[in-house]
Amino acid sequence: MKSVAVMTPDDLATAGRALYGDRWQTSLARDLHVSDRTMRRWLAGEFAIPAAVAAELRAVLIGRSNAIGSIVRYTVNPRDQVNAPLHGFLRGSVVIPPDFDLTAPVADEVFASEEGELHK
């Protein structure tokens, strides 16, 4: 049975460009502790991108986000987990993940309409 890729070459390239701009491959390879050649093989689809790389890339993205956050005020969802997508915003903008349903209820509890309280 063929394994499903955790990260596609397009995902890797998108993250690389977001982190380093158009000339991103060498910088990202350095931060992920792999050779430039390995990076090119992943991008060409010659080798699957290991699941551990997705986790390490996420850590690099969060680190960069925190560095930017020290310059520009922003917040990150405090419930952010290692395997969860990064949710955050800069002042005046909101990032909504593509799979987030804006029509779904936010609270699991039932509201008491007269009192405005949550019932447990």
Q: What is the pTM of this model?
A: 0.55
Q: Classify residue 20: in a domain, yes or no.
A: yes
Res 5: pLDDT? 53
Q: Classify residue 1: in a domain, yes or no.
A: no
Residue type, 99: D
- Owning domain of residue 40: 9-119
Q: Classify residue 34: in a domain, yes or no.
A: yes
Q: Classify residue 4: in a domain, yes or no.
A: no
Q: Maximum CA pair distance of the chain? A: 65
φ, ψ for residue 67, nearest 5 deg: -65, -40
pLDDT < 70 stretches in the chain = 1-5, 72-95, 105-120
Phi-psi region of 116 (alpha: psi -120 to 50; beta: other; left: phi over 0): left
Q: Classify residue 104: in a domain, yes or no.
A: yes
pLDDT digits (tens, 9 = 90+) for 16-41: 999 999 999 999 999 999 999 999 99
Res 1: pLDDT? 45
> CA-CA distance, 99 to 113, in Å (whole number)?
30
- H helices present in 46-90, as ranges: 51-69
HSE-CB for 109 with a 13 A CA cutoff:
8
Q: Classify residue 3: in a domain, yes or no.
A: no
Q: Classify residue 2: in a domain, yes or no.
A: no
φ, ψ for residue 68, nearest 5 deg: -65, -40
- How big is the chain by its Cα radius of gyration, in Å? 19
Res 73: pLDDT? 58
Res 36: pLDDT? 94
Please count the structural domains in the chain.
1
Res 35: pLDDT? 95
